[in-house]
Copies of this chain bind each other. A is one copy, B any other.
Amino acid sequence: MDRGGHAGRDHASPLPVSEFEADTALEAVEGGFAGEITARWNVGGNPNGGYLMALAARAMLAASRRADPLSVTAHYVTAPVPGPVIVRTETARAGRRYSTVAATVAQDGHQRLRVLGALGELDRMQGPTRLAGSPPRIPPPEECVPLLQASERSGSWVPEVMNRYDLRLAPDDLWIDSGAPGVVDEAPLTVTGWIRFADGTEPSTLSLLAFSDAFPPTVLNALDVGWVPTVELTVHVRGRPAPGWVLGTFRTRFLVDGLLEEDGELWGEDGRLLALARQLALVLPRR
């Protein structure tokens, strides 16, 4: 499905530099991989958790010489700051089908996140296939509402990370049109829309980790909250994305004493499942 090229691709000289590639680039150094956390992926003062997971997973793929993250879990320890970062990896298992790698992301001796992952090659997995689910039906990207446009209209604050994505939300997502957040008791909170990188970078299995934490928190649909910090994020990558848009749908069913799960699915434009994601997050009041 051709939904039109990205501006960055239409003028291909000089070769555009991918923000995602640049900001997750790593160099093998003594004791790990060195990179740089940039402020371009910030939400308020803190780098987005999906971006950080992708950075760590890039090191884990390099350390294990694998192509795809299969399952990655990140626990967020302390808030990173823009600047140099070291990712230390330990390959606990190097099996035929997959490798198991632990990673620690640190700045100046301070642990930022701890990560565990299974990494392999999705195109070499063999076994039965049986599907009992399909992507949600929403209008095509050109009929959805760009997040930046919706936010400008409502006067709400736009985190810096939102400039990295072209994110278009399904028009019937409550929170876009209501100045005051709606409350729908007993219905799951959902956020659904299309996502791609704003600079035209095509999606990879690594970028699915970032996409898994790029949508606005579902809970903004229902509650006047301050911050929704992720305690833990796990992403199962189930398919390699084709070029183009990725469809994301996120759902929260259980908010209990300020703790919630957010369940995400990422789908390709071709209807293939790309990833399942789940995070545990805290709901903190406005300060």
Contacts and interface: CB of A to CB of B under 8 A. Distances in A.
A132 interface: yes
Interface stretch (A48-56, A151-159, A164-172, A183-191): A183-191
Interface in A93-125: 93, 97-98, 100, 102, 111, 114-118, 122, 125
Nearest to A183: B130
A114 B114 contact: no
Interface string A65-86: 0000011010111100000000
B232 A129 contact: no
Interface string A266-285: 00000001001010101111
B129 A256 contact: yes
Contacts of A70: 231, 259, 280
A255 interface: yes
Nearest to A90: B114
A93 to B, nearest CB: 5
Contacts of A127: 255, 257-259, 282-285
A280 B71 contact: yes
Interface in A24-71: 70-71
A126 interface: yes
Interface stretch (A8-16, A142-150, A233-241): A233-241
A185 to B, nearest CB: 7
B128 A100 contact: no
A261 B236 contact: yes
A73 B114 contact: no
A232 B117 CA distance: 8
B254 A276 contact: yes
Contact of A132 (B130, B132, B188): B188
A132 B273 contact: no
Interface in A186-204: 186-189
Nearest to A252: B132
18 contacts: A73-B232, A77-B93, A92-B111, A93-B111, A102-B102, A116-B232, A127-B258, A127-B259, A127-B283, A127-B285, A130-B222, A130-B255, A131-B255, A132-B185, A132-B188, A132-B252, A236-B261, A254-B273
Given A70-B259, A97-B282, A102-B114, 10 more contacts: A77-B93, A128-B283, A131-B186, A132-B185, A238-B254, A238-B261, A239-B256, A254-B273, A254-B276, A276-B278
